[in-house]
Amino acid sequence: MEIVIGKTSGFCFGVKNAVSKTIQELETTPNLYCLGELIHNKEVTDKLEQKGLTIVNTIEEVPEGASCVIRAHGITKQEYEVAKEKKISVIDLTCPKVLLIHQKIEQYAKKGYTILLYGKKEHPETKGNASFGGENCYVLEKKEDVDQAVKQIQEKGSKKIAILSQTTFGVEEFHTFTNEIQTQMPDSEILVENTICNSTKLRQKEAEEIAKTVDTMLVIGGKHSSNTKELYEVAKKQNTNTIHIETAEELKDKVFPKEKIGIIAGASTPQSAINKVVEWLQNGTE
Ligand code: SF4
């Protein structure tokens, strides 16, 4: 069996930073809260909880004056305001690339641009990004959203458009949506900022390349991880024999007779999870 592991697999800069700083913080702050799971990985989440991290789903659940970690995805403008009102000590580990999107969207909105933001509507990063654009920000996830937004913008008569995207959005969709918007609104001033993170772009490119050359492609990462799901879609287009797994245990019932197997892992997949999958493939055990 030949195993090809993508070099871009595993923690990205933003996730690495969030995990290491949270571990450091837990050494001095016993009652530390985190808004949502720090990363989409059960093993890491369990370890952090054992060290004393309390995961909550809303900022309202964090007690007055407590300390709260903001994960790499970031939060909404309104959540920052609630944190301030409750005198919560915010340990802001929002990835700098996401913070830059917040700033850009806020500036464009102030200058009167209508914002078209590509992203998964329910993803926390997209919710955070969109919150800085106010009422004139449209989130576009599917082709139908593009058509609907164009229609509404034309009805309002807005001619200044700024296009940005969630950091883990698909590169191919970014270009397809942008071409569609430019075609449908030829008379508008359209600024395009490709804010897909470089780490995402490289990883998607690598997934695509590896998938073309192997018998089976394994995409490792959380089932709720947006960037992992995107990787799966990219790889699947090149190789129908692509499987999305979260842990090595999911390989239990699968047989890979002398195959060439490709591996790529999402941005929140620890190296230990990748190693376990490789062990399993080589020895039939973790
Ligand atoms: S994928 Fe990119 S933007 Fe998102 S946390 Fe990682 S480095 Fe930051």
Q: In 3-state terms, what secondary structure has residue 259?
A: coil
**Per the structure block, which two tokens stand in for 89?**
């000590």
Ligand 1 centroid to 203 CA: how many Å? 11
**DSSP letter assigned to residue 261:** E
Ligand 1 pocket: which of 168, 228, 231 to mutate (most atoms within 8 A of CB): 168
| AA identity, residue 173 | E
Per-residue pLDDT of the chain (286 residues; tens, 9 = 90+): 899 999 999 999 999 999 999 999 999 998 899 999 999 888 899 999 999 999 999 999 999 999 999 999 999 999 999 999 999 999 999 999 999 999 999 999 999 999 999 999 999 999 999 999 999 999 999 999 999 999 999 999 999 999 999 999 999 999 999 999 999 999 999 999 999 999 999 999 999 999 999 999 999 999 888 899 999 999 999 999 999 999 999 998 888 777 899 999 999 999 999 999 999 998 875 5
| Residues known to be catalytic | 125
| AA identity, residue 155 | E
pLDDT of residue 80: 98
List Cα–Cα distances, 154 to 16, 46, 147, 184, 185, in angstroms: 43, 49, 11, 10, 8
Q: Residues 194, 165: contact at Cβ < 8 Å?
A: yes
Q: Which domains does the chain have, with CATH numbers?
A: 2-10+198-283 (3.40.1010.20), 13-95 (3.40.50.11270), 97-192 (3.40.1010.20)
Q: Residues 235, 219: contact at Cβ < 8 Å?
A: yes
**Per the structure block, which two tokens stand in for 69?**
């970690």
Q: Which atom of ligand 1 is nearest to the CA of 95?
A: 8
- Please list, in sequence order, all residues whose beta carbon lies within 8 angstroms of the beta carbon of residue 98, skipping any fewer than 6 positions away: 14, 72, 73, 74, 125, 128, 129, 167
Is the Cβ atom of 15 under 6 angstroms away from ligand 1? yes
> Has this prediction a pTM greater than 0.85?
yes
